[in-house]
């Protein structure tokens, strides 16, 4: 397919005469011949496009077919395929809704680690992001400030293609800028951008979670030319906490207790995100029981409520016991009646009945 506008490439009107087309081709072919532009990586592509456009428009039969089919024109004359038509329609829509000020800069992604305490309160996080910013020397146009650019001869500086266009409304030769770079900026090498490490402050609301994206508008890469900068997307990664486990907006801690504390009950200090508080362990509590402290968890994102803090009671079996202490525990256990362990007695009976 003719994915480029041949009239735009040669810089002539659709009603141009054969002499106009030939004259335009000679000027452009001489200007963009690869032998004369060995330092320009685009020259070879431009020269091929110019030659392809001239080969079609200089042949009366091919030109008639091209004028009739436009972007669906093929040099071998084969009819367009459905996928070719879809591609052309997509290009036309993209052209209609294309940004007026050139291509947009690239979006960036950055992963920021947050502590659970920062999630609880929210924070202003400073992140250092490698990004491209507009070159201060050339103001982003890539040309040396001292005579590094010249007005595009094809569009006379307008940046517009001549005549009505379907595939593109921008001049092919200057890409809509109205000028061409003849001497590159020494600071950015003609790219129009420079790499920096930028310190950016990101507002983090309370209640965020791992995987959430925070958008910082305009802090992606600067565009080449006059386009808008891309955006920065900060991906949240919440660090593991040595005490708390997160379950949505709720928090869970495992509280190790001695046998005596579970049996008699006890007042025990437990951690919260704000500090510590004292809770009462009911007498006769069993391992695995969960106590709840209402609204002592994490704030709900975008809301006014908080989750709960769940405290799971765990029995810590004594470690590093001497033989004498083991013997003392055995003597104490031997003195307990069967009724002291009713569930164990019921379990043993069920096992015995099966036999």
- pLDDT of 78 strictly over 70: no
For every residue of 307-354, DSSP letters joined together read --EEEEEEE----S--HHHHHHHHHHHHTS-GGGSHHHHHHHHHHHHH
Q: What is the pTM of this model?
A: 0.70
pLDDT tens, 4-49?
Answer: 788 888 988 888 999 999 999 999 999 889 888 887 778 888 899 9
All domains in the chain, ordered by first residue: 6-97 (1.10.287.110), 108-148+183-238 (2.60.260.20), 245-354 (2.60.260.20)
Is there a contact between 233 and 215 (Cβ–Cβ < 8 Å)?
A: yes
238-244 CB contacts, 8 Å cutoff, 24+ apart = 238/113, 238/114, 238/115, 238/116, 238/119, 238/208, 238/209, 238/210, 239/113, 239/114, 239/115, 239/116, 241/115, 241/116, 243/271, 244/116, 244/271, 244/273
pLDDT tens, 246-288?
Answer: 999 999 999 999 999 999 999 999 999 999 999 999 999 999 9
Length of the chain: 355
Stretch 323-330: mean pLDDT: 92
Edge-to-edge strand ranges of the sheet holding 108-114:
108-114, 232-238, 213-216
The structure tokens listed for 316 are 């810590």
Stretch 229-236: mean pLDDT: 96
**Choice between 104 and 114, residue whose per-residue pLDDT is larger:** 114
For every residue of 154-177, DSSP letters joined together read TTTTS-B-SS--SS-SB-TTTTTS
Is there a contact between 134 and 195 (Cβ–Cβ < 8 Å)?
A: no
Q: Which of 74-88, 115-129, 203-217 has the lowest mean pLDDT?
A: 74-88
Whole-number Å distance between alpha carbons of 345 and 329: 20
**Mean pLDDT over each residue of the chain, to the nearest integer:** 88
- pLDDT of 98 strictly over 90: no
- pLDDT of 134 strictly over 70: yes
pLDDT bucket at 99, cuts 50 / 70 / 90: very low
What whole-number percentage of the chain has pLDDT above 70? 89
């Amino acid at each position: 397919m003719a994915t480029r506008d041949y009239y735009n490439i040669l810089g002539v009107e659709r009603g141009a005469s054969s002499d106009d087309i030939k004259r335009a081709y000679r000027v452009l072919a001489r200007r963009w011949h690869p032998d004369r532009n060995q330092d320009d990586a685009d020259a070879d592509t431009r020269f091929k496009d110019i030659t392809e456009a001239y080969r079609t428009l200089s042949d009366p039969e091919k030109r008639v077919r091209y004028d009739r089919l436009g972007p669906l024109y093929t040099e071998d004359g084969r009819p367009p395929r459905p996928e070719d038509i879809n591609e052309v329609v997509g290009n036309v829509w993209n052209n209609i809704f294309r940004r007026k000020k050139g291509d947009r800069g690239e979006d960036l992604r950055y992963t920021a680690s947050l502590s659970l305490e920062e999630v609880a309160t929210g924070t202003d996080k400073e992140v250092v992001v490698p990004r491209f910013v507009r070159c201060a020397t050339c103001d982003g146009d890539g040309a040396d400030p001292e005579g590094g650019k010249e007005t595009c001869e094809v569009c006379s500086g307008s940046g517009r293609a001549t005549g009505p266009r379907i595939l593109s409304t921008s001049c092919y030769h200057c890409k809509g800028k109205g000028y061409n770079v003849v001497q590159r900026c020494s600071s950015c090498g003609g790219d129009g951008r420079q790499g920096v490490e930028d310190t950016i402050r990101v507002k983090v609301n309370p209640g965020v979670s791992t995987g959430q994206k925070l958008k910082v508008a305009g802090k992606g890469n600067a565009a080449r030319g006059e386009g808008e900068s891309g955006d920065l997307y900060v991906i949240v990664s919440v660090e593991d906490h040595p005490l708390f486990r997160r379950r949505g907006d709720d928090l869970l801690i495992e509280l190790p207790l001695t046998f005596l504390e579970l049996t008699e009950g006890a007042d025990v200090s437990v951690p919260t995100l704000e500090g510590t508080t004292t809770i009462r362990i009911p007498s006769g509590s069993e391992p695995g029981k969960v106590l709840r402290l209402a609204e002592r968890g994490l704030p709900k994102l975008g809301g006014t409520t908080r989750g709960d803090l769940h405290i799971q009671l765990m029995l810590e079996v004594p470690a590093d016991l001497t033989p004498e202490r083991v013997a003392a525990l055995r003597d104490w256990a031997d003195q307990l009646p069967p009724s002291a362990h009713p569930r164990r007695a019921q379990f043993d009976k069920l096992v015995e009945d099966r036999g």
